[in-house]
Amino acid sequence: MEVINAIGRRKAAIARVFVKEGKGDITINGRELANYFPSSMLQFVVNQPLNTVNAAGKYDIKVNLKEIFYLPESRNDIDFSAFDYVVDAIDTVSGKIELIMKSEREKTRIISSMGAGNKLDPTAFRVGDISETTVCPLARIIRKECKKRGIRRLKVVYSTEDPIKTTLPPDDPAWAELPEGRNALPGSVCFVPAVAGMIIAGEVIKDIIGNKGVNCMAQINGPPLRGAV
């Protein structure tokens, strides 16, 4: 197996990941996993996608991590032609669309995360094409933008749960920080976006190594997720 590399982003951090056949060594910025993440819980989170597809101990993974906020203005800072896979977890629509478009231009595989804010049901996530998404307000915007730009297919993780409607109390000082016309900002519960991230990680690993096994989330929650069989 040749060395496969992919790129992913969360907040202001970008990680480039190299995967090759090996004995399960994982290094992050030159440090062993246990040294970079002393917490056994965080080590478990890192290894869970590998365990899900029975790939633990079969591949060596090297991660190079740096901070950068991906926006249209910074699109030329990264050469996507060097990568095999891109994970889109951007919150801003402009950055999200630019990342999708650049991956399309460079013919680099991409999976995009839709909205996980104001949701409480981690079992409502599905994997599918952007054209198949329902309910999610962010997915509706991305569908429209992809159609305008001629992007016909985009693999996404989205939720079928209706977002919880929230508003700030009248005397809350946070009103001063809200954009005009908004009465609340999306909030998230730690376990919901975390589950979306684990599903995405599993999809990337299966796409890279060609695993066709049934997704464990499908076994627990119902029929197989689209793209996960």
What residues does each domain of the chain span?
Answer: 4-221
Q: Are 98 and 75 a contacting pair, CB within 8 Å?
A: yes
Which of the residue ranges 94-98, 132-136, 181-185, 186-190 would you say has the lowest mean pLDDT? 181-185
User: What pLDDT does residue 145 have?
Assistant: 95
pLDDT, average across residues 149-170: 89
* Burial class (CB within 10 angstroms; exposed 0-12, middle 13-18, buried 19+) of 116: buried
Mean pLDDT value across the chain: 83
The answer on pLDDT for 118 being more than 50 is yes
The answer on pLDDT for 151 being more than 80 is yes
Based on its alpha-carbon atoms, the radius of gyration of the chain, rounded to whole angstroms, reads 18
Quote the CA–CA distance of 141 and 156 in Å, as a whole number: 13
Which of the residue ranges 21-35, 42-56, 114-128, 131-145 would you say has the lowest mean pLDDT? 42-56
Q: Does domain 4-221 have CATH number 3.40.50?
A: yes
pLDDT, average across residues 171-200: 79
pLDDT, average across residues 6-21: 81
pLDDT class of 8 with cuts at 50, 70, 90: confident
pLDDT class of 39 with cuts at 50, 70, 90: confident
pLDDT, average across residues 129-139: 95
Q: Are 214 and 227 a contacting pair, CB within 8 Å?
A: no
pLDDT, average across residues 1-11: 78
User: What pLDDT does residue 223 have?
Assistant: 45
pLDDT in tens, 56-74: 899 999 999 877 777 777 7
Residue among 186, 192, 202 nearest 111 (CA): 202
- Tokens for 28, please give them: 């992050």
pLDDT class of 141 with cuts at 50, 70, 90: very high
